[in-house]
Structure formats: structure tokens, C-alpha cells
């Protein structure tokens, strides 16, 4: 697989692997062995960029990556995240915590779970309204100077926050949701990133699976948290699925799956973009990776836009 440069000194595979689902986001967590097999299969197929977070599990995901990538640690880039107050027994923390002392504690714990001496890319998982971003950037800068972290990242931050953080310590990458059905970043965020030389890492480039066409309305069980999302339920799901069917038809004419066309579209929005689709299955992993080889012409991109027009998706992201 070819590589892309997110920022100076941070070169990664064109497509990364979002690892959240390995620890149970969409079903039971994979065993340590099964997770390791998938991680190494991704590496064998050219993936060198792996995304995790302390909150995935919580904590389980980082341990899965630590064990699964141990033998190839120096050949891969591992990104993890801080920013939540995690209470044992609470799977979905609601409280933010980016206090400097908390960041330092979290980084030491993440290093232990990952079994490594450095975190290649450390993101603030979400902005913390109680802590100035200057304090966050300064603290991560200290950790970089100490050698515990190599690059500083933000996630779901607005343009003004990105600028404030970057003024204190260079931001290497921003991670936010971006796909054919979530295009908010195009207005202010992407121009800001390109002005400052910051790479972009889209999560959910497949719309949490919806853009693959395999999640027709009513398919998800009530136990799946996506079933409660506005875009996945009721009339919104029906209208949104009609867009996906149009994308499927276009993809079939070109010899691809809808998911592959969706990932290829994201990749063609700029060479500074590295999507991180997630999966628990080898066949889906191979399908996603193959999207990196798709070349889209201007006509192809226009046809995709016509099949999936901006502004036609109904329902909020969460």
C-alpha cells in the first residue's frame, strides 16, 4: 500500500485501521488471539496506522493492540487518545477530563497497556470546556519533549480551537467524522488544516457501516447502539438508505462495492487525508484496503456526488 504524510515526520499507510470494534463496540469483544490475528493481517496487507483509545473497552483495546502489534512495534504507527474521566463499570463515560495531571497519568497508563516506550500520535479525544486548550497543548508538548509522545493530535475540535492549540505546540493531525453522509468539516475545518499543514484522519468513513448497504432499516438489533441513532431509525433511515442504494448501483456499474466507493471518495478529497475504517472481519478488511487502489476521475466524482448529494442526509450524527 502507498503511504501519505499527515505532517512532518508522520508518514502512514494510505488507509489505517480503526480498532474500536475489536473490544466490543458492535458486539462481544474479540479474544486477544483473534484481535492479534486481525491486526497482523492488516499489517501484512500494508496497513501501518492503527487507531485506539483508552476509553475503548475501556482499556481493553489498548491491551489488544499492545499484544497484537508487539512483534512489529517499530514498523507501525499507533495512535491513542485521552480526555475522559473513566469510572470502572461505566462503559460510556460522559465526563471530560483533560487536566494536565490527568493527561500525564493517562499517558503512563496507556504506555503500559500498549507495551511500548512511546505513543506515536496522542489525540485529545474531545475538547474539554473546563480546561483551556493551551494547557492541553502545553502538557502534550512536555510529554513530547520527554520522549513519551511523538506527535500531538486533536479530535472533533473546531477551527478556533485548532488554531489556539497549534500556536502552543504543532498539531500533527485532526481526527473527526467525515464521509459522504457527514461533510461538516468541509466548510471551516479542512481549509484551516491545510493552511496550518495539519493532516486529517476521518473516522467512520463508512458511516458506521451504513454506507456499505448492509444495514437496511430494521436490520440492527435493539442492543446495537447504532439502532438508536437518528440516522439509523424511522423515516430518516428509509430516506438515507435510498441514497445508499443509489451509491450501490453506481458502484456495481464500476465493479466495486458501495463501501469501497465511499472510502475511495474520501481518499480523493486530498492527499493529506487518511481514513481509518474499522472492522472485525478479514474479508471486510481486505475489501476496505482495496479501496486505496481505486482511481476516480472527475466524472466518477461527479457521478458519486449526484448519487449521494450533499445535504440530503436526514438525522443527527448522535
Each residue of 30-42: pLDDT tens digit?
A: 999 999 999 999 9
Give the start-to-end residue ranges of the domains of the chain: 3-209+269-294
Report how far apart, in Å, the C-alpha atoms of 24 and of each of 152, 174, 270 are.
27, 25, 32
Strands 10-13 and 17-18: unpaired
Q: Which residues in 242-265 are b (16+ Cβ under 10 Å) and which e?
A: ebbebbbebbeeeebbbbbbbbbb
Digitized pLDDT (tens) for each residue of the chain, 318 residues in all:
999 999 999 999 999 999 999 999 888 999 999 999 999 999 999 999 999 999 999 999 999 999 999 999 999 999 999 999 998 777 678 799 999 999 999 999 999 999 999 999 999 999 999 999 999 999 999 999 999 999 999 999 999 999 999 999 999 999 999 999 999 999 999 999 999 999 999 999 999 999 999 999 999 998 898 999 999 999 999 999 999 999 999 999 999 999 999 999 999 999 999 999 999 999 999 999 999 999 999 999 999 999 999 999 999 998
* Number of CB atoms found within 10 A of residue 42's CB: 27
Residue 169 has phi, psi (to 5 degrees) of -150, 135
List b or e across 164-184, with b for residues whose CB sees 16 or more CB atoms inside 10 angstroms. Answer: bbbebbbbbbbbbbbbbbbee
Nearest by Cα to 231 from 246, 221, 241: 241
- Judge if the upstream peptide bond of residue 58 is cis by omega within 30 degrees of 0: yes
CA atoms within 13 A on the CB side of 315: 20
For 211, 298, 302, the CA distances from 307, given in Å and listed in that order, are 12, 14, 9
Q: Is 56 a catalytic residue?
A: yes
Place of cell 500494508: 46
Give the CATH fold of the 3-209+269-294 domain. TIM Barrel (3.20.20)
| Spatial CA neighbour of 153 closest among 124, 191, 119 | 124
Amino acid at each position: 500500500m502507498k503511504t501519505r504524510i499527515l505532517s512532518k515526520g508522520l508518514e502512514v499507510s494510505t488507509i489505517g485501521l480503526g480498532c474500536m470494534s475489536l473490544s466490543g463496540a458492535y458486539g462481544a469483544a474479540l479474544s486477544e488471539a483473534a484481535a492479534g490475528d486481525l491486526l497482523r493481517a492488516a499489517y501484512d496487507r500494508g496497513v501501518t496506522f492503527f487507531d485506539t483509545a483508552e476509553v475503548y473497552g475501556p482499556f481493553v483495546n489498548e491491551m489488544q493492540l499492545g499484544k497484537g502489534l508487539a512483534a512489529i512495534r517499530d514498523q507501525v504507527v499507533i495512535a491513542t487518545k485521552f480526555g475522559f474521566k473513566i469510572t470502572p463499570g461505566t462503559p460510556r463515560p460522559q465526563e471530560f477530563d483533560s487536566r494536565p495531571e490527568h493527561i500525564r497519568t493517562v499517558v503512563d497508563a496507556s504506555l503500559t497497556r500498549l507495551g511500548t516506550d512511546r505513543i506515536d500520535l496522542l489525540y485529545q479525544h474531545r475538547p474539554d470546556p473546563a480546561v483551556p486548550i493551551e494547557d492541553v497543548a502545553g502538557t502534550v508538548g512536555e510529554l513530547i519533549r520527554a520522549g513519551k509522545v511523538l506527535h500531538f493530535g486533536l479530535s472533533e475540535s473546531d477551527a478556533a480551537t485548532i488554531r489556539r492549540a497549534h500556536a502552543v505546540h504543532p498539531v500533527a493531525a485532526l481526527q473527526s467524522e467525515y464521509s459522504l453522509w457527514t461533510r461538516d468539516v468541509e466548510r471551516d475545518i479542512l481549509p484551516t488544516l491545510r493552511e496550518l499543514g495539519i493532516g486529517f484522519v476521518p473516522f467512520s468513513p463508512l458511516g458506521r457501516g451504513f454506507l456499505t448497504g448492509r444495514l437496511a432499516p430494521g436490520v440492527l438489533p435493539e442492543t446495537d447502539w447504532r439502532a438508536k441513532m437518528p440516522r439509523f431509525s424511522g423515516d430518516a433511515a428509509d430516506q438515507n438508505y435510498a441514497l445508499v442504494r443509489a451509491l450501490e448501483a453506481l458502484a456495481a456499474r464500476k465493479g466495486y462495492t458501495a463501501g469501497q466507493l465511499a472510502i475511495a471518495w474520501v481518499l480523493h478529497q486530498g492527499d493529506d487525508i487518511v481514513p481509518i475504517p474499522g472492522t472485525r472481519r478479514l474479508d471486510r478488511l481486505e475489501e476496505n484496503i482495496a479501496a486505496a487502489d481505486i482511481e476516480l476521475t472527475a466524472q466518477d466524482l461527479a457521478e458519486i456526488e449526484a448519487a449521494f448529494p450533499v445535504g440530503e442526509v436526514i438525522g443527527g450524527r448522535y
